[in-house]
Chain A
Amino acid sequence: MPDLTEAILELIRRTSTDLPPDIESRLRQAVEQETPGSAARGALETILQNVDLSRANATPICQDTGTPIFYVYYPEGWSTRKLRTEIEMAVEQATKQAFLRPNSVDSLTGKNSGNNLGGDYFPTIHFLETDGIALTIELMLKGGGCENVGAQYSLPNDALGAGRDLAGVRKVVLDAVQKAQGQGCAPGILGVAIGGDRGSSYYASKEVLFRSMDETNPDPQLAALEDRLTEESNQLGIGPMGFGGKTTALGTKITSLNRLPASYFVTISYMCWAYRRRKMVWQNDQVTYS
C-alpha cells in the first residue's frame, strides 16, 4: 500500500487556497447582478480579488480553515487505519505550512491542540469501500461561521405553517436563510437533507454539498424546489455579507433520506461563499486532482 501523505497534503493545500471553478463562476455571475457602487457589489469584488490572490500566493482563502471533512472511497484491500494515520500526518503538516489554522480545541480545557488533531472526530473522516481500483478522497473545509447558522427543524412546525411535505420543507429552509442573515458569510450555498434521524440528517446535509453546482438534481421535484429556494432566498434581500442586495444564495442542493414514521427532520447546512471542496483520485500510482 503506497504512502499517500504527500498527495493528501497537496489536496489540503489546493482545497484551502484554490476555490473550485463552479463556485467562482457563480460569484462572477453574481457580481454582475449587483448595482455598481453598492456595498453588495463592493463585497463581491473584494471576494473575487481575494480568490485570485489566494490562488496566486497559495494562502488560505479564509483564515477559518474550518473542520476538515474527508470522505475516503477505497477499493478492497486498503487499510483504513493506515489511511487515517496518513490523513492525520498530512493535516499536521498542512497546519505547519499555514494552509490550515490550528482549529482543534478541547471543549473542556479550552486548549488548542495546535496541530488540528484531537480525538476520533477531528478531523472528520468517513470511509466507504468501493468497487474498482481507484481510491478517491474528497475534502471539504467548512468554517465555523457558516456552521453556526446551520439549523434543524422537526416538522410539522406550526409557527411557520410548515407541514410534512415539500411545501413545509420550503418554508423552514427560507426561515433558516432569513435567520442566518449575513452571518454565515453570504452569499451561501444551502445543503438540505429531508428525513433521516437527527444525526444522519446533518451528515447528509453536508454530503450533498459535494455535488457540483452545475449538476441538476435527478429528482425533478427536488430540482424544482432547489431552483425555487435559491430564487426566493435572493428575494429576501439579505445580500452579500448581509449588506443588502440581490445575491443571498448561490445555489441549493437537496437530498432525502428514509425516516421513521414519527420523525420528519429537515436539516440545513449553510455553506459560506468560500465553499472549499476538492477531490483527489489515486489510480495506478498516479494522482489527479479536481
Chain B
Amino acid sequence: MQTIQLPMSESVVRSLKVGDPVALNGVMVTGRDTVHKWLIDTFIKQTRAPQGDDLEVYEAIKPLLKNSAIYHCGPVVGGLDTKAYYFVAAGPTTSIREEPYQGSVMRHFTLRGVIGKGGMGSKTLATCQEIGGVYLHAIGGAASLIAQTVTQVLGVYKLDFGVPEAMWVIEVKDFPAVVTMDAHGGSLHAQIEAQSRKVLDDLLSKA
C-alpha cells in the first residue's frame, strides 16, 4: 500500500498504475452532480452568469483543487445545527454521471485525482493521460469505515445545494482507494467491460 500526500505532483501521479492500492492523506474536496454542472455552466462554458457567492467560492476552491483530488461523495454529516460538522458516513457515489464534465473540470483546475466508484469513460481517461491524472476507486457502501478516515471537516461551500451536493473540504488520513484508471491509458473498467461483454455474447448464444 502506497501512501499519497495531497496535493500531489504530476510525477507521483504518473508513477501510479492500475491495480495499485493507495492510502490518501491531506486535504480533498467533495463534489458531485450539482457541483460539476455548476462549474461547467458558470466558469468553464460560461453559459450562466455568476450569482450570489459564486465568484467568491470559485476563488476559494481554486487553490484547494489545484494538484489535489475531488471526491464524488454525498456524505451524511453530523453537527448541522451547531456547524461543528463531522462526517458520519461518507462512501463514494457513482462517478460515471460526471463523465460529460470531468475532463474539462480536471483541466480547468489542474485536478490530479478523481475519487469515486464504478469508474469513468474514455473522455476522462484521455484527460488523465493528457494532464497527468488518476482515477481512484473507493469501496462503494463502505461509508462508516471511510468516514473514520476523515479527521476533520475544514469547511463547506455551497451548502445551499443541499448536504449531499455541497462541497465539503475535508482532511483525511489513510483514506483507502485503488487506482483503476491511470495516466498511461490503463483502465480496469474498460478491461472488465470488454471481458464481460465477451462472456455475455457466449451466454446469449446458448438457449
Q: Taking beta carbons and an 8 Å cutoff, which residues of A are in contact with B?
A: 39, 42-43, 46-47, 49-50, 53-54, 57, 59-65, 98, 100-103, 105, 110-112, 114, 143-145, 148, 160-161, 167, 171, 174-175, 178, 181-183, 185, 232, 235-239, 241-244, 272-274
Contact = CB atoms under 8 A, between A and B. Distances in A.
A174 B203 contact: yes
Given A175-B200, A241-B137, 5 more contacts: A39-B21, A112-B161, A143-B141, A232-B203, A236-B203
Interface stretch (B3-11, B47-55, B101-109, B189-197): B189-197
5 contacts: A47-B142, A178-B199, A243-B188, A243-B192, A244-B192
A273 B117 CA distance: 14
Interface of B: 19, 21, 34, 73-78, 88-91, 93-94, 96-97, 117-119, 137, 139-148, 161-165, 176, 178, 180, 188-189, 191-193, 195-197, 199-200, 203-204, 207
Contacts of A148: 94, 97
Most central of B91, B140, B141, B163 by chain A CB within 10 Å: B141
A53 B148 contact: yes
Given A98-B78, A161-B204, A167-B207, A57 B144 contact: yes
Contacts of B146: 50
Given A63-B73, A63-B91, A110-B34, A185 B203 contact: no
Contacts of A110: 34, 161
A46 to B, nearest CB: 5
A183 B139 contact: no
Contacts of B162: 102, 105, 111-112, 114
B142 A237 contact: no
Most central of B88, B161, B207 by chain A CB within 10 Å: B88
Contacts of B96: 183
A181 B189 contact: yes
A144 B165 CA distance: 14
A182 B117 contact: yes
A237 B195 contact: yes
Contact of B139 (A50, A63, A167): A50
A164 B31 CA distance: 44
B89 A112 contact: no
At the interface, is chain B mostly helix, strand, loop or mixed?
mixed
Nearest to B201: A178
Contact of B144 (A60, A102, A161): A60
Most central of B89, B165, B188, B191 by chain A CB within 10 Å: B89
A86 B94 CA distance: 33
A59 B142 CA distance: 11
B119 A242 contact: yes
Contact of A182 (B90, B118, B147, B191): B118
B59 to A, nearest CB: 23
Contact of A50 (B19, B21, B143, B199): B143
A150 to B, nearest CB: 13
A154 B45 CA distance: 39
Nearest to A54: B144
B74 A63 contact: yes
